[in-house]
Amino acid sequence: MHSTASDLLRSVFGYTQFRGQQQAIVEHVAEGGDALVLMPTGGGKSLCFQIPALLRQGTGIVVSPLIALMQDQVDALREAGVSAAYLNSSLDAESQREVERQLLADELNLLYVAPERLLTGRFLSLLERTEVALFAIDEAHCVSQWGHDFRPEYRELTVLHGRFPHVPRIALTATADPRTREEIVERLGLQQARQFVSSFDRPNIGYRVMLKHSPRTQLMRFIEGHRGEAGIVYCLSRKKVDDTAAWLADAGIEALPYHAGLDAATRAKNQQRFLREDGVVMVATVAFGMGIDKPDVRFVAHLDLPRSMEGYYQETGRAGRDGLPAEAWMIYGLADVVTMSQMIAQSESADERKRIERQKLESLLAYAEATTCRRELLLGSFGENFHGPCGHCDNCVEPPKTWNATVPAKKALSAVYRSGQRFGAGHVIDILRGVDGERMSQYGHDQLSTFGIGADIDEKGWRSVFRQLLAAGLLATDAEGYGTLRLTPASRDVLIGGREVHLREDARPVRSVRRRRDSQLVTGASIGIEAYEQPMWDALRALRAQLARQQGVPPYVVFHDATLLAMLRALPSDEQEFAQISGVGESKLKRYGRDFLAVINATG
Ligand code: ADP
Ligand code: ZN
């Protein structure tokens, strides 16, 4: 029997339709073509090589840099009835020999390997004795030094083309940065490959950026809206990770820390719990997240600024891989802007590198301060033309008010200038507000013409002005990293060139408490679970957790939230109806159909 791509999509994976460019990619690779696939996280890259591997003779070899990720994908494939295995350093010698035997006996549809393993002479010669259906190079941005996860071994993957010229290669990445893309093509010798570029928009992610005033309270309120849901909270420092995790745990949230300073066993344990239990909040430095394939992360919160737009996109992109609603939330303030600038100034990097880092920070700040659609800016920073309003970011939902701040901006800039460009924002604000004190008279700043000219604006107001002037490049911090403010070439345009300055009015943090209380009662409210659906939702999740535990796999390997949600809404009453649920393939129908039907009938 000869199956088609659509047959396999339905019978193995339980999906009725290909998404986006999946079908074109699958057909191209199945026919032996090389491909470079650029698709956002959650776009559905895995099927693009899994289905061609099933359609073609022989074994599909998948290069993947991450052990945890390999394991997950192999578990998921086996659940779906596909013969799959992996080879990496986590296997003992005997298991490795068994996998090699299966490979030679042509018993595997897919074999995942770490790059350093693939490139050994021993493994390459094994491959020469077997039929290879295709090479899939996952996380292909690892070849790029410019990108964020450089892996030297990836460079060597060019040998594949030389040694196996007739085997199609498909490289995949979620990196949106054009420069990284160019490097992938060059480094992997993919000049002839067909490129499939998808939009990098993640329509199910809502974006929100707020002014930081009381971070813990703000975070707690935000998390309360995601009760019982998995999320990631990013902090800059290890200490802040530890403190925040402990504080959340005290407040009754299932929160765990993760950073490079924890010992390997604790890190592994926390990651495992995040993957295997429902509703764990991971508080982490950016060391956490790369290769985390958990589909039901419902939110990503930034308590500190990420380093760049690309970093922000990747980190927030870990939310909502399953396509259900998810939130990207960030708070920041003047102090963060100064800290980030200082970190760059004081780093060991060469000047050229620092210049790039500063540029990256500037575009991130412009994003944070934006008054227009955030999605438009985010995608625009990767060269993609998206036209807002998107209707799903804070600026679109509630357009911020702006005010003409030209006069205060001039006052601020001249106060910086007149005090010799040697002071930080705090002192300059004191000058503007005419705050008397020892320091003032010591420097003679109470004699300045700018002393007290800004008494009409309170300190908070001035901090808002300085933050935004910094973000707009109308002020800069010193290159040495002391946090002192200085003028920039653009400051002149304001001081004497007649340039107007419009700033956003920082929103007052008022939110109705009562509304939150209601939604708090419902687990899964953020994906639309209603109070009356709660009992069945909980029952379905409990059954899934139990089945997952029995098999030692994460719950989402059994069924994704999206599939449980489809059950909840369709309320299938027999196996035939159950088979229609998206995400239920033949293998899962056989394995789980009866158990889930029993729960639905009993609870419904
Ligand atoms: P990526 O690797 O691009 O981040 P995945 O391959 O993990 O994305 O897929 C993301 C999610 O979308 C998974 O839950 C997957 O099962 C689901 N998915 C992929 N293709 C389809 C499809 N054609 N129909 C429905 N769901 C799909
Ligand atoms: Zn928008």
Average pLDDT over residues 549-553: 91
Among 7, 8, 15, 205, the mutation site with the greatest number of ligand 1 atoms within 8 A of its Cβ is: 15
Cβ contact 173:141 at 8 Å: yes
Please give the pLDDT value at position 292. 79
Cβ contact 416:475 at 8 Å: yes
pTM score, whole prediction: 0.86
Determine which residue's CA is closest to atom 2 belonging to ligand 1.
45
Distance (angstroms) between ligand 1 centre and the Cα of 106 equals 27
Exposed, middle or buried, 471 (CB in 10 Å: 0-12/13-18/19+)? buried
Which numbered ligand comes closest to the C-alpha of 77? 1
Please give the pLDDT value at position 514. 39
Q: Could you tell me where the beta strands, DSSP code E, fall in 413-472?
A: none
> Does residue 566 carry a pLDDT above 70?
yes
Give the pLDDT band of residue 507 (cuts 50, 70, 90).
low
Dist CA 255 CA 296 (whole Å): 16
Determine which residue's CA is closest to atom 13 belonging to ligand 1.
322
Determine which residue's CA is closest to atom 23 belonging to ligand 1.
18
Which numbered ligand comes closest to the C-alpha of 38? 1
Which of these ranges, 186-200, 479-493, 564-578, has the smallest mean pLDDT? 479-493
Q: 5-197 maps to which CATH number?
A: 3.40.50.300
Give the pLDDT band of residue 147 (cuts 50, 70, 90).
low
> Does residue 85 carry a pLDDT above 50?
yes
Please give the pLDDT value at position 511. 44
Query: 3-state DSSP call for residue 133?
Result: strand
Determine which residue's CA is closest to atom 12 belonging to ligand 1.
44
Average pLDDT over residues 285-310: 89
Dist CA 420 CA 434 (whole Å): 17
Average pLDDT over residues 310-337: 93
Q: Is CATH 3.30.1360.30 what the domain over 402-504 is classified as, yes or no? A: no
Dist CA 117 CA 65 (whole Å): 10
**Domains 5-197 and 529-603 alike in fold:** no
Please give the pLDDT value at position 547. 95
Distance (angstroms) between ligand 1 centre and the Cα of 341 equals 38
Better-predicted residue by pLDDT, 276 or 52: 52
Dihedral pair phi/psi, residue 351, rounded to 5°? -60, -40
Token pair, residue 38, equals 């650029």
Give the pLDDT band of residue 457 (cuts 50, 70, 90).
very high
Give the pLDDT band of residue 509 (cuts 50, 70, 90).
very low
Q: 529-603 maps to which CATH number?
A: 1.10.150.80
Residue pLDDT, tens place only, 377-420? 999 888 888 998 999 999 999 999 999 999 999 999 999 999 99
**How much of the chain exceeds pLDDT 70, in percent?**
96
Cβ contact 281:254 at 8 Å: yes
Residues with Cβ within 8 Å of 433's Cβ and at least 6 positions away in sequence, in order, are 452, 454, 455, 457, 458, 459, 462
Give the pLDDT band of residue 148 (cuts 50, 70, 90).
low
End-to-end CA distance of the chain: 40
Distance (angstroms) between ligand 1 centre and the Cα of 42 equals 6
Determine which residue's CA is closest to atom 9 belonging to ligand 1.
44
CATH superfamily for 205-397 is P-loop containing nucleotide triphosphate hydrolases (3.40.50.300)
Distance (angstroms) between ligand 1 centre and the Cα of 17 equals 11
Among 13, 77, 175, 294, the mutation site with the greatest number of ligand 1 atoms within 8 A of its Cβ is: 13
Average pLDDT over residues 279-306: 90
Q: What is the mean pLDDT of the chain?
A: 91
Distance (angstroms) between ligand 1 centre and the Cα of 14 equals 11
Residue pLDDT, tens place only, 210-259? 999 999 999 999 999 998 899 999 999 999 999 999 999 999 999 999 99
Question: Residue 229: what residue type?
Answer: E
Give the pLDDT band of residue 515 (cuts 50, 70, 90).
very low
β-bridge partners, 503: 403
Dist CA 39 CA 22 (whole Å): 10
Dist CA 581 CA 1 (whole Å): 25
Better-predicted residue by pLDDT, 478 or 330: 330
Residue pLDDT, tens place only, 125-144? 999 999 999 999 999 988 88
Distance (angstroms) between ligand 1 centre and the Cα of 19 equals 8
Residue pLDDT, tens place only, 439-452? 899 999 999 999 99
> Does residue 339 carry a pLDDT above 90?
no
Please give the pLDDT value at position 517. 45
Name the residue ranges covered by the structural domains of the chain.
5-197, 205-397, 402-504, 529-603
Cβ contact 201:376 at 8 Å: no
> Does residue 352 carry a pLDDT above 90?
no
β-bridge partners, 486: 476
Residue pLDDT, tens place only, 1-46? 468 999 999 999 999 999 999 999 999 999 999 999 999 988 999 9
Dist CA 233 CA 221 (whole Å): 13
Please give the pLDDT value at position 363. 86
Please give the pLDDT value at position 68. 77
